[in-house]
């Protein structure tokens, strides 16, 4: 049996499960179900689902391969994520629940005004559309190589089919469906990586003890980097970037917070955030350990290492010395991560565009709101497909770096808006806020260039912090001379 038919069978089986889950989760659903899951979801279920929600197809493909050049430096950032999750749990979650928000950017509307509210919604829209498209592009490229190219199917058709499948299972149930499908995704991801570790180690003849010793002794397993502050892998740069990246891409991201706001109250949501944040560290560690094993396998077999690190996992998984089950597990983990991540992005984009940009909850009665929401869902799906095709040949970075670089530019202004809103009471000139938010990424890019060319300092993901700081400085300038009283921060 040729491998591409095995891949097709795996995708068909997983998609059938998604449809079954979607059917039962979306029964008797309404707009509230789509936007907030009716706020009745048990926190342990959300916590387990959030493990999968934080891990996309990019993580599945890119993290194992990146160990060759960066070791386990990514774990330094994940340690920062945990601190960031505590900040989200005890600062942002109570703030959003007190205001009973459907979209978290409603807070900025209350704090600053309509201009700032719509600016934050548009920045989220651009950031999520670009980030989700890069994540899903990686998966489409792999599926193209494994399935569609052997069948002589063009890449565009690949994108259309996969986007259509995702639209189909998210169109009705929204957040409630996502939480249940993310639970399936978390289970598939964790089992896939554990079983892949087992089969690769078995092929190398490693017992558990010998495997852990081989991983620890390998050059790629270095975790802490304290020696050169100018390098991207320096500990404090990675750790601090992780703290703020978690706050920006989880606490200030409608996609991720939409799940957390599905819990019954803020206390339940806080438990979910803390548990899922800690568990994410161990799941990422498993991916990195698998990456080291993949390189040990290639070294022992005398195989040429692929030019792109994102290709390493798939290359070994489908090598003729690996049992067929490893290739199936690779595909299962990949599509479970990809479908869920793209589905959640479409749901959050639909929510934010309908609620924030179209102001749908105030403008339309319930039945018309449902029709508008479904039309927006179709439009978001079509737009994502076009962006994926546009990105096809543009980036030669490992995908995880591309995603976080995009996030540093697009989430920086959102982070700056929330920081200013919560810690400074003085109002700003609301109509000028969009200009500050557009200027901040441009200024940050210029600062990054100057630091690299003049000081030899390579800016990593701390670019997000710089971007947010520039935004706050701009907002402080907009507050000069404004006399009327503003709404208190938190």
Per-residue three-class SS string for 164-191: HHHHHHHCCCCHHHHHHHHHHHHHHHHH
pLDDT in tens, 98-132: 888 767 888 888 888 888 888 888 888 887 787 77
Whose CA is closest to 411, among 124, 93, 84, 85?
Answer: 124
Domain for residue 346, yes or no? yes
pLDDT of residue 489: 42
φ and ψ at residue 354, rounded to 5 degrees: -70, -45
Domain for residue 309, yes or no? yes
Q: What distances in angstroms separate CA 467 from CA 224, 239, 250, 309, 473, one per listed residue?
A: 26, 17, 17, 29, 10
How many whole angstroms separate alpha carbon 320 and alpha carbon 125?
43
Domain for residue 333, yes or no? yes
pLDDT of residue 57: 62
| Residue 188 neighbours by CB under 8 Å, 6+ apart | 14, 52, 332, 333, 336
Which range marks the domain in which residue 365 is found?
3-396
Q: Are 478 and 430 in contact (CB under 8 A)?
A: no
Q: Are 211 and 293 in contact (CB under 8 A)?
A: yes
pLDDT of residue 395: 53
pLDDT of residue 402: 63
Domain for residue 454, yes or no? no
pLDDT of residue 486: 46
pLDDT of residue 215: 92
Q: What predicted TM-score, i.e. pTM, was given to this entire model?
A: 0.75
Domain for residue 70, yes or no? yes
Domain for residue 410, yes or no? no
How many whole angstroms separate alpha carbon 417 and alpha carbon 120?
8
Spell out, as residue ranges, where the chain has pLDDT lower than 50: 1, 31, 33, 397, 486-490
Domain for residue 341, yes or no? yes
Domain for residue 490, yes or no? no
pLDDT in tens, 399-448: 556 666 777 788 889 889 999 988 888 888 988 999 999 999 999 889 88
pLDDT of residue 86: 93
| Residue 253 neighbours by CB under 8 Å, 6+ apart | 124, 128, 348, 411
Count of the separate structural domains present in the chain: 1
pLDDT of residue 435: 93
Instruction: Find the CATH number of the domain harbouring 43.
Output: 1.20.1730.10
pLDDT of residue 490: 43
pLDDT of residue 292: 93
């Amino acid at each position: 049996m040729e491998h591409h038919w095995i891949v097709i069978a795996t995708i068909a089986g997983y998609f059938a499960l998604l449809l079954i889950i979607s059917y039962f989760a979306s029964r008797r659903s309404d707009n509230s179900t789509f936007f907030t899951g009716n706020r009745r979801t048990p926190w342990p279920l959300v916590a387990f689902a959030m493990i999968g929600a934080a891990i996309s197809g990019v993580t599945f493909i890119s993290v194992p391969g990146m160990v060759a050049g960066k070791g386990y430096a990514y774990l330094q950032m994940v340690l920062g994520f945990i601190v960031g999750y505590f900040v989200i749990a005890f600062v942002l979650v109570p703030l959003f629940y007190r205001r009973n928000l459907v979209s978290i950017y409603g807070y900025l509307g209350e704090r600053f005004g309509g201009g700032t509210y719509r600016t934050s919604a548009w920045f989220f829209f651009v950031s999520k559309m670009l980030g989700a498209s890069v994540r899903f592009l990686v998966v489409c490229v792999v599926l193209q190589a494994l399935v569609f190219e052997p069948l002589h199917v063009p890449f565009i058709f690949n994108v259309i089919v996969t986007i259509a499948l995702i639209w189909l299972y998210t169109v009705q149930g929204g957040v409630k469906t996502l939480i249940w499908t993310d639970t399936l995704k978390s289970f598939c991801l964790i089992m896939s990586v554990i079983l892949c570790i087992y089969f690769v180690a078995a092929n190398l003849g490693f017992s558990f003890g010998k495997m852990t010793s081989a991983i620890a002794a390998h050059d790629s397993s270095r975790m802490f980097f304290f020696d050169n502050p100018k390098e991207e892998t320096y500990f404090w740069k990675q750790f601090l970037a992780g703290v703020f990246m978690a706050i920006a891409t989880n606490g200030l991201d409608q996609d991720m917070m939409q799940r957390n706001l599905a819990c019954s109250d803020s206390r339940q949501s806080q438990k979910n955030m803390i548990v899922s944040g800690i568990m994410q560290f161990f799941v990422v560690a498993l991916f990195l350990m698998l990456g080291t094993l993949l390189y040990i396998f290639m070294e022992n077999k005398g195989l040429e290492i692929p030019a792109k690190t994102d290709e390493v996992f798939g290359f070994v998984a489908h090598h003729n010395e690996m049992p067929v089950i490893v290739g199936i597990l690779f595909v299962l983990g990949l599509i479970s991560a990809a479908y869920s991540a793209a589905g959640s992005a479409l749901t959050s984009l639909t929510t934010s565009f309908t609620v924030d940009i179209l102001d749908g909850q105030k403008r339309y009665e319930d039945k018309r709101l449902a029709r508008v929401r479904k039309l927006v869902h179709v439009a978001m799906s079509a737009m994502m497909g076009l962006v994926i095709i546009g990105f096809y040949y543009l980036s030669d970075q490992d995908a995880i770096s591309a995603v976080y670089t995009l996030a540093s530019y697009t989430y920086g202004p959102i982070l700056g808006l929330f920081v200013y809103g919560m810690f400074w009471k003085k109002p700003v000139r609301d109509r000028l806020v969009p200009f500050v938010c557009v200027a901040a990424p441009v200024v940050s890019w210029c600062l990054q260039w100057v630091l690299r060319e003049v000081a030899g300092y390579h800016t990593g993901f701390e670019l997000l912090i710089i971007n947010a700081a520039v935004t706050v400085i701009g907002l402080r300038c907009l507050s000069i001379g404004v006399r009327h009283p503003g709404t208190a921060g938190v």
